[in-house]
Amino acid sequence: MIETQTISPPIFKELANLKVLLAEDNEVNQLLAKNILQHWGVQSKTATTGNQVLDLMNQEDFDIVLMDIQMPEKSGIEAAFEIRHLADPRKKNIPIIALTANALKGEEKKYIAVGIDDFLTKPFKQEDLYEVIINVMNSRKEYCSNTMENFELHQKGIALMEKLYDLSYIKDLAGNNPAFIESLIKIFIETTPGDSTEMVKLCNEKKWEDVSKMAHKLKSTIDSLRLDAIKDDIRTIEADAKSKVNLDQVIKLVAKVDRIIADTTLQLKQDFNL
């Protein structure tokens, strides 16, 4: 719950005309937060799932993200992590403030590791929100994926995220034989990222039938490792690329699949010391 309290206009006039992306699935918290922002003269749009956050980030320009940590489909941590790896420099460097009901010690390390600038524990007052927004706006950071610092950020973020894969099917198939499981993981690492990169290349070249064929090839691997985040997406790519429909969506989904496979590969390398 968010506590509301009247603040005199001179205090928050610096925030007027900002455009805020509010990521919040609780309707009461949505209403209270939107009321505060409207009172301040701030424009806002609301996303109720992690996937909606990323869709809106790709479609529009915002000045700041207020990110609820517990959201359906994709958590605030996962959404923030993906924002930090967007291609557009302005979008990837947008200030992100986590809104969380979880005040457990050590949680802030997880937020920082994925590129969240600051956080606010719910319930909070208007003054608290104002102060943290001003602080992050005045200390803008650049998240450049070419720097060692952000390569380490990427690795830490992957390690702290929930596992993208599930080996239960493979373990059952392998009779829980560790050597066999590791050999399958090595094959995934050696081949699957290359296939995904090839699918991106074919997509850029608009070779839609070949994109569909590559999606079909990747589908069984994605199913075997239970990559549920892209299970439906790879099927949509296969069908729509073959039919040459919804191609703008196909392009976005191909990029998403490539990103998830890259992140899964890094997780597997870390988990199996490969």
Question: Structural domains in the chain?
Answer: 9-159 (3.40.50.2300), 168-272 (1.20.120)
pLDDT at residue 136 greater than cutoff 70:
yes
Residue identified by tokens 């005309």 is: 17
Structure confidence by residue, pLDDT tens digits, 13-61:
677 778 999 999 888 888 888 988 888 888 899 999 888 999 999 999 9
Give the phi and the psi of residue 84 in degrees, each rounded to 5: -65, -10
The mean-pLDDT minimum among 127-136, 228-237, 240-249 falls in 127-136
Q: Is the CB of residue 163 less than 8 Å from the CB of residue 267?
A: yes
Helix (H) or strand (E) segment spanning residue 138: none
Long-range (24+ apart) CB contacts under 8 A made by 184-193 are 185/268, 185/272, 185/274, 186/274, 188/221, 188/225, 188/265, 188/268, 189/265, 189/268, 189/269, 189/274, 192/218, 192/221, 192/261, 192/265, 193/261, 193/262, 193/265
User: Could you tell me which of 210, 209, 181, 183 has the C-alpha nearest to residue 195?
Assistant: 210
pLDDT recorded at residue 224: 93
Predicted confidence (pLDDT) per residue in 81-101, tens digit:
889 888 888 898 899 999 887
pLDDT digit string, tens, across residues 241-253? 999 999 999 998 9
**Model pTM greater than 0.85?**
no
**What does the pLDDT read at residue 122?**
80
